[in-house]
Amino acid sequence: MSTGTTNSQRVDQFYTVAEARFDRWRTLLQAARTWESWNKEDRANRETGQAAVSKSFQDLRQWEDFFAYPGPVLLKTLQERIDSNDATGTARLAQSISAALLTHSYRTNAGDWESEEGPTSLGDRLPRGSENGGHHRPYFEVLFVSPARPAVCLELAQDLRKLRRSQDKFVYEPVFVGNVEDAILGAILNGSLEAVVIYEGIPFASSHNSPVLHEFLTAHLAATGRADGAGQYALSLAKALKLIRPELDIFLLSDREVEKAAGDVSAGCIRRVFYQVEEPLELHLSILDAIQDRFETPYFDNLQKYSQRPIGTFHALPVARGKSIFKSNWIRDMGAFYGLNLFLAESSATTGGLDSLLEPTGNIKLAQEKAARAFGADHVFFVTNGTSTSNKMVEQALLAPGDIMLVDRNCHKSHHYGAVLAGAFPLYVEAYPLTKYSMYGAVPLRTIKKALLDLKAEGKLDRARLLVLTNCTFDGHIYNVERVMEECLAIKPDLIFLWDEAWFGFARWSPFYRRRTAMGAAALLENKFKDPAYHKAYEAQVKKFGEDLDPKDSKLLETRLLANPDKVHLRVYQTNSTHKSMSSLRQGSMVLVKDQDYHTVEEQFHEAVFTHASTSPNLQIIASLDVARRQMELEGYEMVNRAIQLALDVRREVNSHPLVSRYFRVLGADELIPSEFRGTGFVDYLTPGVNWATAVKALREDEFALDVTRLTLVCGSAGFDGTQFKNLLASQYDIQLNKTSRNSILLQTNINNTRSDIAQLIKVLVEISQGIEKKLAQGGKSAQQAFAARVKSLMEDVPNLPNFSYFQESFRENPSSITSEGDMRSAFFGAYREEQCEHVKLSSPEIDKRIKDGPELVSANFVIPYPPGFPIMVPGQVITGETIEFMRKLDVKEIHGFSASLGLKLLKPSALKKALHGKSATEEEKKLKRKTAA
Ligand SMILES: Cc1ncc(COP(=O)(O)O)c(C=O)c1O
């Protein structure tokens, strides 16, 4: 992820792709203008100017081979103008190209493809009429990987253009490359590519300067046997492209036995195989048809049609059709603000072109199937009440009372409530603390393995049904999802995983992050378990540790365990807040399922949907989920790349700015992930010497990685606590953000951000830094001392983060058990009886006395301070001195479940024994208790 400062000539600097391209063109333009400004008689300066322009042009030239615009003809014209000393003509053309690139106008404006001398030699240039009858006609590019000579390629390009018809919904331009490496470079560099046409007979190596990619491909393709046989790379290339961008449509043109190629089972990644000498028309239509497949949004399309029909409504939704609004004397402004379509598209009907979210059989079903394809899942459920609901649905569907759910205590509160609702016993596994920044990291795999092995030792492993982890965490810690699942499955082959990827849904569209998503890792494992080499490696493990692992063998914790590939059941669920990282309306969320035993829980799953989903789901949210999927399948790759690049820009600018960096710092991977979890030695994305290949290695191997788009900005060193700084940014600078800690704020880039946003942020930080400098200079020694004391208090006097203590013994089946799961539901409902509860003020001496001498203080409810936003007390938990100390030091105003005037809500000691055996325990739980006791 080098930002390109080290070697500007390398084309394989993938993290700077799009924006760096614009910058290169602006640099050329600037040089051309300077050249033009020199008087013709001033020969020395004119020559220097020409040389500078020539150099800028050469700097950008090699990247341009991977894009259709400006294309070989305009580039040639530009080169000729430079060579013929035409400064004015060069500046004019550079100006029009760079403006067209920046605004993307070349996608719709035929004029951008022409030099002033008239149309370029390609004649019928593309986007003429791409505004089709007033409708926007999306533009894309198609990569042709062909060994043919350039003249033949130009001819084919002409032929394809001639096939365009005015009724086409999309328009595309071809880009030609001649070898495997360039094809991969093209797919990575050019986000507008939507399809790749591969001809047989292509060579491997590129003539572009891409040493890092070359080394990477040589190592990786060599490992998988890079040629398909007889020096043919087509199929290997198709597979490699699908790994990078699974959404690309790939077509193979073969001049050999096409029937064989089409029948090859390993060619599933190829959409269609053509016989090379046949007409290009079929190919052209197939390309458009494939795009249509991704473009189609079954639910949204139908909703639009529905809204245009004259429908009389006699159902219970007065806003539908908008008549109660647009004719109103008093609320007409609502209609003016939202527009007519919103109301025309409202309905409570589930028929007549619409569908039912609760029991989809029509276009919602289709939309969900398309989403499943896009996200690499077997099934997708759209949810209109946020991931808070998605999580509870999954947990209710998979857990029965008494089941054990291993869960990060620091996870979103929906999971804790999910455990309460399902009656599952949470077994909290602790994330590593980042005390200095008052936040948690993620849960080490060792901790999870230990918990599973302990359960096994206690004979309770069969009850451990689900592992719930947040990936990535709020602060950007990404798990090595593949490894976590593999090693857990080694201990319990049918453990189910729920990855809460509320923040991380976009990651599917980054080739760097995909392997660390639930679905990406599940796909990797699926292949791995089929691999004969894996079976062999597993047999070797059996020889060492036996098939039935001994839970007391401490070596297991140090060993990278393999799962028994014949016994594993891959059961993976993911929830994501589509609204948090993609273009869905608020509350749009999805549940992704890749569970080989899904049929065994399908009924429960539907019950869970019925339990939690509204019977009046919001149609616009459903439609926006459909559209968000379309967008990600067509432009997610480009947008996510940009979000990552912008985040790297913020990191670099803040941390290297001479003034801003005195007070603020964006934390790197090394500061958020202890070195023991960065086995490859990866330090941070912007560390000198780090390139994308180093980052890929870290993403493959390290236990934790950092999502660069989540930026922890330390503000304590500027004398602000997180909340204070958040409020300052919001009230004075109109900058909104999400989360804060005692001494930091969390900024985030996403597919919505632009370079202007980043510039604004940096400008604001400069302004605030200048303000601090001024205040310190004007305030003299006393101000400086006060500032230093404030910084010390925020940065050094930080309270220890309290670990989960333990459930009070009434909520434990066996208090002497080494595993700590507890019956949280009984505690939760125990608190429903007022007479069983008491309140004690936080500052009261009674608290200290009871901590010292008893009886134990047992929380009656969840207590969740914001920040940090995790429950520092859960129902049934014994409150320790550490927790009280933390609570007393907390200086945040928002603490859910706690009223300062009433005090802590506790279960009375007299109520405790009753709680588990009283009415709130279900028959099943009682049975379970009796069984355990026996
Ligand atoms: C990790 C995690 N999971 C789930 C949720 C809930 O998502 P939603 O806001 O879509 O209900 C959140 C919300 O912040 C979250 O941070």
Q: How confident is the model at residue 31 (pLDDT cuts 50, 70, 90)?
A: very high
Q: How confident is the model at residue 19 (pLDDT cuts 50, 70, 90)?
A: confident
pLDDT at 914: 53
pLDDT at 492: 98
Cα gap 647→653, rounded to integer Å = 10
pLDDT at 205: 82
Give the β-pairing of 744-748 and 710-714: antiparallel
Per residue, the 3-state secondary structure of 730-766, as one string, reads: HHHHCCCCCEECCCEEEEECCCCCCHHHHHHHHHHHH
Q: How far is the CA of 829 from the centre of ligand 1 (A)?
A: 24
pLDDT at 894: 84
pLDDT at 690: 82
499 lines ligand 1 (CB under 6 A): no
Report the 10 Å Cβ neighbour count for 215.
12
Per residue, the 3-state secondary structure of 175-209, as one string, reads: EEECCHHHHHHHHHHCCCEEEEEEECCCCCCCCCC
Q: Choose one of 382, 387, 391 to mutate for the ligand 1 pocket test, by most ligand atoms within 8 angstroms of C-beta.
A: 387
743 lines ligand 1 (CB under 6 A): no
Percent residues over pLDDT 90 in the chain: 73
pLDDT at 14: 60
Average model confidence (pLDDT) across the chain: 90
Cα gap 751→642, rounded to integer Å = 7
Q: How far is the CA of 690 from the centre of ligand 1 (A)?
A: 33
Q: Choose one of 381, 388, 579 to mutate for the ligand 1 pocket test, by most ligand atoms within 8 angstroms of C-beta.
A: 388
Q: How far is the CA of 884 from the centre of ligand 1 (A)?
A: 27
Q: Report pLDDT digits (tens) over 839-887.
A: 999 999 999 999 999 899 999 999 998 766 788 999 999 999 999 998 8
476 lines ligand 1 (CB under 6 A): no
Q: How far is the CA of 257 from the centre of ligand 1 (A)?
A: 52
Q: Degrees (nearest 5) of the Cα angle 398, 384, 358?
A: 65
* Greater model confidence, 123 or 449: 449
Q: Report pLDDT digits (tens) over 455-469.
A: 999 999 999 999 999
410 lines ligand 1 (CB under 6 A): no
Least-confidence region, from 50-59, 206-215, 920-929:
920-929
387 lines ligand 1 (CB under 6 A): yes
Give the β-pairing of 171-177 and 135-136: unpaired
pLDDT at 927: 54
Q: How far is the CA of 7 from the centre of ligand 1 (A)?
A: 41
- Name the closest-CA residue to atom 9, ligand 1: 386
Res 923 pLDDT > 60: no
Give the SS3 label for residue 381. strand
106 lines ligand 1 (CB under 6 A): no
Res 268 pLDDT > 90: no
Least-confidence region, from 215-224, 293-302, 436-445:
215-224
388 lines ligand 1 (CB under 6 A): yes
pLDDT at 889: 83
Q: Report pLDDT digits (tens) over 135-148.
A: 789 999 999 999 99
Cα gap 467→407, rounded to integer Å = 6
Cα gap 280→575, rounded to integer Å = 43
Whether 170 contacts 139, CB under 8 Å: yes
Cα gap 870→635, rounded to integer Å = 35
577 lines ligand 1 (CB under 6 A): yes
Cα gap 502→625, rounded to integer Å = 14
Res 919 pLDDT > 50: no
Q: Tell me what the mean pLDDT of segment 481-506 comes to.
A: 98
Q: Choose one of 573, 577, 591 to mutate for the ligand 1 pocket test, by most ligand atoms within 8 angstroms of C-beta.
A: 577
pLDDT at 67: 95
Residue 310, C-beta contacts closer than 8 angstroms, at least 6 positions apart: none
pLDDT at 16: 64
474 lines ligand 1 (CB under 6 A): yes
Residue 433, C-beta contacts closer than 8 angstroms, at least 6 positions apart: 439, 440, 441, 800, 801
Q: How confident is the model at residue 123 (pLDDT cuts 50, 70, 90)?
A: very low
Q: Tell me what the mean pLDDT of segment 691-714 comes to.
A: 94
Q: How confident is the model at residue 226 (pLDDT cuts 50, 70, 90)?
A: low
684-711 as b/e: b if 16+ CB within 10 A: bbbeeebbbbbbbebbeebbbbbbbbbb
